[in-house]
Structure 1
Amino acid sequence: MFSHRHQHWAYVWIPLVTSFVWFGMLWAMLITWLAQGRPKYVSQQGKIAYISDIGASFLKPLFIAGGAVTGVGFFLSLSVERLLRYTGRLPPSLRKREQVFSYLAILGSLAGAVGLICLAVFDTQRHKKLHRAFLLLFMLGVAFSAIFTIVEYHWISRDFREFQRLKIAYIAKAVITTILICLAIAFGVALYRSHNTGAILEWTVAFLFTFYLLTFYYDLRQTKHFRKHGYFKDIIRAEKQRRAEKHHTMRQI
């Protein structure tokens, strides 16, 4: 039986494993392509292979498996985060708007997960149009999910100013997301104008996505030392202290 201080371990493994699988899959595909002497695949148009070009080769099973684990892990990370806020093991949503944005973020992660799995299944060599449609779904799903999450975290952090980790969490997410969105837009343009530049941008965005996934490890670690309803008790305690201080001030006046 784990001690209370290690209860958060069960949750932090989700984004950690997800990040490791995604990062490992990318390196495995890139190293394989380089080790083979940079071959030009059937679907490849430039000198540099896209992830999808390698994923359409004999490494397709790896691409599907890695995409499935990453997609499901991404969705679970946000779903578990919502559950922990609901049960008070993470700073809870005190208003309806935070809850709405949290569910929108989860919906976005689900769309991104479906897009990632499907773009791996419908590879660019045999199903080019479907592949690009699901690639767009993946990118938009992740982008909107990230934006909704950042807004949610920002509002929650304003209610829990004493918890600096919340501010750090949404700032880190905002910085990474801004970089990813800018690079993704550039990738979308380069995809039709410069194949080599597009490939470089795709690999860059993919590797940077690992760091976004890892931010959820930081978030879920905040459950450490907090039992169920722990943050709710802190709110009540802080409110009682505030009222006591106000009452004391009134008496002095």
Structure 2
Amino acid sequence: MLQFKSPGNWLFIVPWIAFIPWYGMLIAMLICWASQGHPIYWFMHTEQFPVYISDIGATNLRPLFISCAGWQGLGYVITVALEFFQRSGYLPFQLKKKDPSISDSTSYAEKLRSGKYLMPPYYTKDERNLIFAAFVLGGIGELGLLFCSIFSTARYHHVHIAMVSVFVVFMFLSTCCLIAEYFLMGRHYASIHPLASPHFNPQSSEKSFNQGYNTVDELPWYKWEGHIWNKFTISATLKVIWLTLAVVWAICFGAINDGSKSACFEWLLAFWFGILFMILSADFYLGGRYRESRYFNHVESFSGYYKYDKALGLYHSEEVLPSDDNAGVITTETASSNNHNNASSNETFQVVV
């Protein structure tokens, strides 16, 4: 029997709040159009079944169309912003506040155990920049959808079509950024995953990578090592499948001259859009539970995989891993190779996870 485990936080509900009203709008439009006898509206030039979403949205249901399009758009932007927040500790465009307990020289392992991050932090600045880009591009795309609903196809047809194009193009780019982010995080996570082969695991005393590569950053971009099929790469693959089908159906929507068939693909795309929110919700749920993951407490070292660790010469080795015997207490030795007076400092501390 499938058991729902307690989430790390409740932010995974936000994507559902965003897209459920969108589904409600679509269903309400179909019901109203059917109850009216499947009419062909005065501004339409051909007979077709079904009609386009925008055709129904240009009638007395226009307020519903505008409000739900705006709600869904705001929900998507907030969802991506929350992805950024959970992995960085601050929101996009927010001035980063200095936390004396978490500095740029803090190791990845310490950041994970600090409790500041609701999801595992990004490994490099590339992932951070991709989330931010997805946020900005998604915001532009969703504004396109909002203006699409405001400028109805009945009165502003050319503007309406232009705004549809803005929505499609920028949402495509935003999704590509999310896919790239998860593939990059999955590539790093694969090499330190406890299920990675010892031959490729940088935690092992054996050679970390074959062919002379010492860290994942030294591998060619096309080469992956370790536990490749992890939660990041699986999510990225699902997004690729989602986007591929969305692109195919979008091409059919725009290229088919038959209005009825074209409208069918538009309705299909509108409902398909909600699947992306479900995937993002699953990302939030799984990411928020990373401290409860069965693998988290068995990762012995994150050294070399965080943006500052390698540059500052920091390494961290946990002498005692959490278990039932030590009640989750970790003794960690931190060594620094910073050249302050040509001396190295050692500090031992305990962290309860």
TM-score (norm 1): 0.85
* Local SS of the residue matching 1:140: helix
Aligned amino acid, residue 80 of structure 2: L
2:30 aligned residue: 30
Contact preservation (8 Å) 1:75, 1:110: yes
After superposing the two structures, state which structure 1 stretch, 88-97 or 11-20, moved more. Answer: 88-97
Larger strand proportion of the pair: 2
> Could you say if the C-alpha distance between residues 114 and 233 of structure 1 is closer, same or farther in structure 2, counting changes exceeding 3 Å?
farther
The alpha-carbon deviation at position 164 of structure 1 amounts to 2.4
Distance 1:101 1:224, change over 3 A: closer
Q: Could you tell me which of 260, 283, 290 is aligned with 1:219?
A: 283
Q: Is the 8 A contact 1:91 1:156 kept in 2?
A: no
Write out aligned runs for 1:170-181 (5 A): 170-181=236-247
Which amino acid in the other structure matches residue 280 of structure 2?
A: F
Alignment correspondent of 1:164: 230
The answer as to whether partners of 2:300 and 2:318 remain within 8 angstroms in 1 is no
Structure 2 Cα separation of the partners of residues 105 and 169 of structure 1: 16
SS in 2 for 1:160: helix
Deviation at 1:242, TM superposition (A): 8.7
Residue type of the partner of 1:51?
I
User: 1:233/1:85 Cα in 2 relative to 1: closer, same or farther (>3 Å)?
Assistant: farther
Structure 1 counterpart of 2:23, one-letter code: F
Cα deviation, 1:60-115, whole Å, max 9, x if unaligned, reads 01101110110000111111001111133223222222122211111111011101
Which ranges in structure 2 are unaligned for 5 or more consecutive residues?
Answer: 1-5, 90-116, 194-228, 304-315, 321-353
* 1:42 equivalent in alignment to 2:42: yes
User: What is the alpha-carbon distance in structure 2 between the residues aligned to residue 60 and residue 153 of structure 1?
Assistant: 37
CA contact (8 A) 2:8 2:285 kept: no
Conserved in 1, the CA contact under 8 Å of 2:119 and 2:288? Answer: no
Identical positions, percent: 28
- Distance across 1 between alignment mates of 2:16 and 2:300: 33
Are the aligned partners of 2:141 and 2:170 in contact in 1 as well (CA < 8 Å)? yes
Which residue of 70, 79, 89 corresponds with 2:118? 89
Partners of 2:73 and 2:145 within 8 A in 1:
yes
For residues 238 and 152 of structure 1, the distance between their equivalents in structure 2, rounded to whole angstroms, comes to 19
Residues 33-56 of structure 1 deviation map (CA, whole Å, 9 limit, x = unaligned): 112110011233341210000000
Larger Rg: 2
Of 42, 53, 56, the match for 1:54 = 56
1:12 Cα offset (Å): 1.6
Amino acid of the structure 1 residue aligned with 2:234: I
Q: Any unmatched runs of 5+ in structure 1?
A: 245-253
Tell me the secondary structure at the aligned position of residue 248 of structure 2: helix
Asked if the contact 1:102–1:149 (Cα under 8 Å) also holds between the matched residues in 2, the reply is yes
Distance in 2 of aligned mates of 1:214 and 1:234:
29
Q: What are the within-5 Å matches in structure 2 for residues 184-203 of structure 1?
A: 184-190=250-256, 193-203=257-267
More helix by share: 1
CA RMSD in angstroms comes to 2.5
CA distance in 1, matches of 2:268, 2:276: 13
> Among residues 207, 218, 232, which one is paired with 2:271 in the alignment?
207
Q: Which residue does the alignment assign to 2:350?
A: none
1:113/1:42 CA distance change after superposition, 3 Å: same
**Larger relative contact order (Cα-Cα within 8 Å, sequence gap ≥ 6):** 1
TM-score normalised by the chain length of structure 2: 0.62
Match of 1:21 in 2: 21
